């Protein structure tokens, strides 16, 4: 399917009030849950591994809630990509900004876990501050151009670096004092990763944040964006910078990241990106799950 009709639809929808757009997104999510069989299967496997104490029926309810907010986040991208700066600043409220502003001018890594609203948080950041980050190149060139333009339109520096560029440009940006929006909680394979517990399950966890902090002296400032119910907007929350980080123990430091993310997931479990194959890479000798 051509990307142009999809992008045109998302562009048209951005003119709607967010309260109405959220209802459309929720209905679209239920359609996706019915039709996207592979993504639904991945989601339910992840939930079964992470919430074994739940009944199967409760996990299905949670999965449906996830698909609703996931679909909302897709359709509401148009608001982020084409609405005015003033509208975005009104819709995405910021809490704990003192934790971010206290570290400005110093090397800083913004730990941004994969919640469905992470793009809303990034766009809101660029409305006021210069930030940068690493992005994955999209397979569809049209989507890639629109996504990149939407994420960078308010920031001179938020051009980002492709994963194919390697880590050196990112390290230079961090050392120069640009806050680095970092999303390290996906399965990128066994390379540069350690198998560490996430919800008690061994997960291939990249150690990049610890390594970058060691090289640059960056402070870790977690930031999590929550999608509010009923089209009430979003909330970007900065948490206090981590003290005594990094330590001499790379495994303990990386586990600290997993523990922080797990705690935030338990606060809003439907909003974590459960359709990602988070446990795709298994320890040697363990069978595949997906």
Produce one character per residue of 107-138: b if its CB has 16 or more CB atoms within 10 Å, e if not: bbbbbbbbbbbbbbbbbbbbbebbbbbbbeee
Element (H, E) at 172: helix 168-175
- CA-to-CA distance for 69 and 46, rounded, in angstroms? 17
Q: Are 93 and 234 in contact (CB under 8 A)?
A: yes
Torsion of CA 124, 130, 134, 139, to 10 degrees: 60
Residue 69 domain-assigned (yes or no): no
> Where would I find the beta strands (DSSP E) of 156-267?
161-162, 180-182, 193-198, 201-206, 219-227, 234-238
Coil, strand or helix: which one is 135?
A: strand
Coil, strand or helix: which one is 151?
A: helix
What confidence score (pLDDT) does residue 224 get? Answer: 98
Interval 2-25 mean pLDDT: 93
The pLDDT tens digits for 221-273 are 999 999 999 999 999 999 999 999 999 999 999 999 999 999 999 999 999 99
Q: For the whole model, what pTM was predicted?
A: 0.95
Residue 116 per-residue DSSP state: T
Residue 27 domain-assigned (yes or no): no
The pLDDT tens digits for 47-86 are 999 999 999 999 999 999 999 999 999 999 999 999 999 9
Q: Which domain holds residue 245?
A: 85-271
Residue 251 domain-assigned (yes or no): yes
Residue with tokens 């338990």: 266
Residue 66 domain-assigned (yes or no): no
Q: How many domains does the chain have?
A: 1
Residue 36 domain-assigned (yes or no): no
The pLDDT tens digits for 124-180 are 999 999 999 877 777 888 888 888 788 888 876 555 677 777 788 889 999 999 999
What confidence score (pLDDT) does residue 139 get? Answer: 81
| 180 strand-pairing partners | 109, 132
Residue 17 domain-assigned (yes or no): no
Coil, strand or helix: which one is 41?
A: helix
What's the CATH number where 253 sits?
3.40.1130.10
254: its two tokens: 């990386």
- CA-to-CA distance for 120 and 78, rounded, in angstroms? 11
Residue 25 domain-assigned (yes or no): no
Tell me how far the alpha carbon of residue 200 is from its chain's centroid.
21
Residue 18 domain-assigned (yes or no): no
Coil, strand or helix: which one is 65?
A: helix
């Amino acid at each position: 399917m051509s990307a142009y009709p999809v992008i045109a639809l998302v562009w048209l929808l951005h003119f709607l009030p967010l309260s109405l757009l959220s209802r459309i997104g929720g209905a679209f999510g239920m359609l996706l849950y019915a039709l996207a069989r592979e993504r639904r299967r991945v989601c339910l496997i992840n939930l079964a591994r992470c919430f074994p104490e739940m009944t199967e029926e409760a996990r299905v309810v949670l999965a449906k809630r996830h698909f609703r907010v996931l679909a909302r986040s897709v359709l509401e991208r148009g608001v982020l990509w084409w609405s005015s700066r003033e509208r975005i600043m009104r819709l995405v409220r910021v809490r704990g900004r003192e934790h971010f502003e206290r570290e400005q001018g110093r090397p800083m890594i913004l730990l941004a876990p994969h919640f469905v609203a992470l793009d809303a948080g990034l766009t809101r950041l660029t409305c006021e501050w210069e930030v940068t980050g690493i992005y994955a190149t999209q397979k569809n060139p049209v989507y890639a151009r629109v996504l990149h333009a939407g994420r960078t339109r308010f920031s001179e520096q938020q051009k980002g670096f492709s994963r194919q560029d390697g880590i050196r440009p990112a390290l230079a940006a961090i050392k120069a004092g640009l806050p680095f929006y970092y999303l390290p909680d996906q399965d990128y394979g066994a390379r540069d990763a350690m198998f560490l517990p996430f919800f008690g399950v061994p997960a291939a966890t990249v150690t990049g944040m610890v390594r970058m902090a060691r090289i640059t002296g960056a402070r870790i400032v977690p930031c999590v964006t929550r999608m509010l119910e009923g089209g009430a907007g979003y909330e970007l929350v900065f948490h206090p910078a981590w003290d005594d980080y990094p330590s001499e123990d790379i495994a303990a430091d990386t586990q600290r990241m997993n523990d922080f993310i797990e705690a935030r997931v338990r606060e809003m479990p439907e909003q974590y990106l459960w359709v990602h194959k988070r446990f795709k890479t298994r320890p040697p000798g363990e069978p595949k799950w997906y």
